[in-house]
Amino acid sequence: MVSSRTNPRTKQLWLLALLASLSVAAQAEVELPAVTVTANKQAQPLEAVAASVSVFGGDELAAAGIDSLEGVARMTPGFTFQASGQSGLQPPVMRGLTANIMGFSSSVALVVDGVPTLRGQGFDDNLLGIERVEVLRGPQSTLYGRNAEAGVVNIVTRKPGNDPYAAVSVDLGSRDKRALRFDASHALMADTLYLGVAGEFFEQDGFIDNTFKGHKEDDRERRNGRLALRWTPGDRTDATLRYTQRAYRDAGSLWGSVTAPRATVRSGTDSWNDSTAHTVSLDVERELAPDLRLRSITANNEFIDRIQQDIDFMPADILHVSRDHHFRTLSQEFRLEGRFGQARWLAGFYADRDDHDLSFGQKIPVGSTTTSARQKGSSAALFTHWIVPLADRWTVTAGGRIERDEVRFALAGGSEQSRDWTRFSPKLALQYQWHQDAQVYASVADGFRAGGFNAFAPETYRRYQPERVRSFELGVRGRLLDRRLRYSASVYLMDVRDMQVQQIGLPGQMFLTNAASARPVGIDAEFQYWLGSGWQIQAALGLNRTRFRKFQDGANDYKGKHNPLAPDVTGYLGVRYDALQGWYAQAHLNGVSKVYLDAANTNSRAGYSVIDLMAGYDFGHTELSAYIHNAGNKKYDTIGFLNGTTTIYSPPREAGLRLTYRW
C-alpha cells in the first residue's frame, strides 16, 4: 500500500526542481532576442554580419520615445548630424566624413525600403510604421553605390499583413506643442490584399524672440504620411506599392546674429520653410525556384527645397537668401539572390536618373540677384556579393560593384558642362566564428563620393573631383552572460584621397573644394545588457581622429586641421527600468565633442552633453508617459556659421505628456 504522506526528500526534490525551472524561466525572460538584419541586402543574423552595424527595432524606438533620425544618431557610435537649423536639411556625419549642403551629395546614404536618398537635402524620416533601423558604418559602395562611402542608414518599414494592427498617440508639450501620430494596417482580402497607413501632425511654437515684430520667429509645423498597399497573389509573389510624404511648413530657421542677445532677432523680413518630400515606389519579390529569388524596386524620389531666410536679422531688408530647388531621382534596381552549394550570393543591376532644377536668390544692399541652373545626371551599375563558408568556423565575404556616373550642369542661359567617371568598388571580409554567438572579422573596402559642380560658386570653384576612400577594419561582436549582453567593437583606418571639404565664401555662398588627403582613424563600440528584474543598460562610444594630411587653398595651408563638422568623440548611455506593476522610467545621456565649422578651424560649436528623461505607466492597451528633453537646459549653439556671421541656436528644455492607445 502506498502512503499518502509525501516523503520529505521528495518535497526537497520538488522544491529544487521548481526553483531550477523558475531560474531557467527568469533567464529566458531576460535573454536578448535574436536580431535579423538585411545590411548586406540579404537576411542574416546580426552576429554573423562582418561589418559594424547598429540595429534598433521599431518597438524599441517607440518605447524610448524616439521619432526622428536625430534620436537614432544619438544612440549610434560615430554618427551625428550637422546643425543647420532648417527642417529637412540635416547632412549626416559618420566616421569623420561629412555630407555637404550645396554639393548635392552625401557621404552616407539613406535607404528606406530600398529607395535611396544620396544628398543632405531630404535626408530625413519621421519613423512612422518602422520595423527596424539599421546603421552600417564604413564604406558600403559595393552594394549601395556612390555617396555611401562612410555608411548607410537602412530603414525597413512594417509590412501590412493578415493580423490587424493600430496605434495612435497624442502629444502635448512645451511651447504649445501639439502632435498626433497614428499607424494602422488591416487585410482588405485575407491572404491576398493588405493596407497600411501611418501619419503625423505636429505643431510647436518657436523660442526665438523677434523683438521688432513682437512674436516668435521659428514656429514649426509638419504633416507626414505613409501608405502601403501590399498584394500577395500566391506564396511566391509579394508586391508592395508605397507612397510617403513629408511636408515642412515652418517659420524662420534657428538662426540669429553672433552679436545679438541669445535667441533674439529684430528681423523685419519674413523667413519661412515650405519644403516637401514625395516618394512613390513599387517593390516586387518573386521566388523563381527554391533558394532563388528576384526583387525589383522602382522608385521616384522628389524633394522640393523652398526657403527664404533673413541673414541680417534687422528691421531693414538688407541681406536675405532664398532657395527654390526641385530634386527628382528616378531609380530602378534588380536583385537576384540564391545559393551555390553552401555559399550565398547576390547579383544586381542599378540605374538612376537625376533631374534637378536649382534656383538661389540673394538680397544684398545694392540689389537682388537670382541664379538659376539645371543639373542632370545618370548612373548605371552592376554588383555582386558572396558569403562563402571556407571551413567549420571560417567565412569569407566578397563583393564588387562597377558603376558609371555622369553629371551635366548648366546655368540658365549658359552652355552645358559635363563630367563622367567609372569606378570599381570592391569589398573583402574574413570572419572567424569562434563561438556560436561571437565572431571576429577583418575587412577592407573601397568607397567613393561623386564629383560634380558647385552650382552657385565662382567659376574658379565650379568643379570638384570625386572623393575616394579605402577602409581597413577589425571588429568583434557577440552575446555573453546567457545572451543577456550583446556587444560589438571595431577599429578602423581610412585612407581618403581628393577629400571634399565644404567651404563658405560670401554669406549664403557655399562650395566644395578637394583637400589633398586625410586619414581618419577611430573606434566604435556599443553594448546592450539586460540585468534582469526589469533593468536594461545600453551604451555606445565613438572615437575618431580626422585631420588633413595635406590641404592648401591658395595661400592658406590647412595641414593638421580638423575636418569641419566632424567630432572626435560621440557617446551615449541609456538606463531603463520596467516594473512588473506596469510603470517604467528611463534616462538617456548623450554627448558630442567640439566641432569646427570651417577648414581653418576658426569658428566652432563647443562640446556638450544632454540628458533626456522619461517615465510612464502601461495599463492594458493604454500608455501614459511624461518626458523632459534636455533636462539640464543645456545650450550648445553653433557659433560662427556663414563665415562667422550667424549663430544656430540649440533648442531649450522641453517637457510634455504623451498618451498612446494600441489595439
**pLDDT of 608 above 80:** yes
State the chain's mean pLDDT as an integer: 91
Q: How far apart are the first and last CA of the chain?
A: 57
- Cα separation of 367 and 364, whole Å? 5
Domain count, the chain: 1
Q: What is the pLDDT of residue 561?
A: 93
Q: What is the pLDDT of residue 102?
A: 67
Domain span holding position 105:
36-84+88-535+542-617+643-662
Percent of the chain residues topping a pLDDT of 70 = 94
Q: What is the mean pLDDT of residues 285-296?
A: 96
**pLDDT of 511 above 80:** no
Q: What is the mean pLDDT of residues 104-118?
A: 92
In a domain, 72, yes or no: yes
In a domain, 13, yes or no: no
Max CA separation in the chain (angstroms): 113
Task: Note whether 177 and 621 are within 8 A (CB).
Answer: no
pLDDT tens by residue, 329-355: 999 999 999 999 999 999 999 999 999
In DSSP notation, 39-51 reads TTSS-EEGGG-SS
**pLDDT of 25 above 90:** no
Task: Note whether 530 and 500 are within 8 A (CB).
Answer: no
Confidence band, pLDDT 50/70/90 cuts, at residue 639:
very high
pLDDT tens by residue, 205-264: 999 999 999 999 999 999 999 999 999 999 999 999 999 999 999 999 999 999 999 999
The backbone region for 582, taken as left when phi is positive above 0, alpha when psi lies in -120 to 50, beta otherwise, is left
Percent of the chain residues topping a pLDDT of 90 = 80
CATH number at residue 565: 2.40.170.20
- Cα separation of 321 and 263, whole Å? 20
Task: Note whether 515 and 499 are within 8 A (CB).
Answer: yes
Confidence band, pLDDT 50/70/90 cuts, at residue 507:
low
Q: What is the pLDDT of residue 6?
A: 42
Smallest CA-to-CA distance from 47 within 61, 32, 59 is with: 32
Task: Note whether 396 and 342 are within 8 A (CB).
Answer: no
Q: What is the mean pLDDT of residues 527-547?
A: 95
Q: Which residue has the higher pLDDT, 116 or 515?
A: 116
Q: What is the pLDDT of residue 14?
A: 41
Could you tell me where the DSSP H helices lie in 235-334? none
The torsion angle over the Cα atoms of residues 128, 129, 135 and 140, rounded to 10 degrees, is -100
Confidence band, pLDDT 50/70/90 cuts, at residue 16:
very low
The predicted model scores a pTM of: 0.92
In a domain, 24, yes or no: no
Q: What is the mean pLDDT of residues 54-70?
A: 93
Q: What is the pLDDT of residue 643?
A: 82
C-alpha cell at 52: 559594424
Confidence band, pLDDT 50/70/90 cuts, at residue 105:
confident
In a domain, 560, yes or no: yes
In a domain, 636, yes or no: no
In DSSP notation, 158-187 reads PPP-SS-EEEEEEEEETTTEEEEEEEEEEE
Element spanning 17, H or E? helix 8-30
In a domain, 379, yes or no: yes
Chain centroid, CA 310 distance in Å: 29
Q: What is the mean pLDDT of residues 605-616?
A: 97
In a domain, 625, yes or no: no
Cα angle 522, 595, 93 (rounded to 5 degrees) comes to: 60
In a domain, 234, yes or no: yes
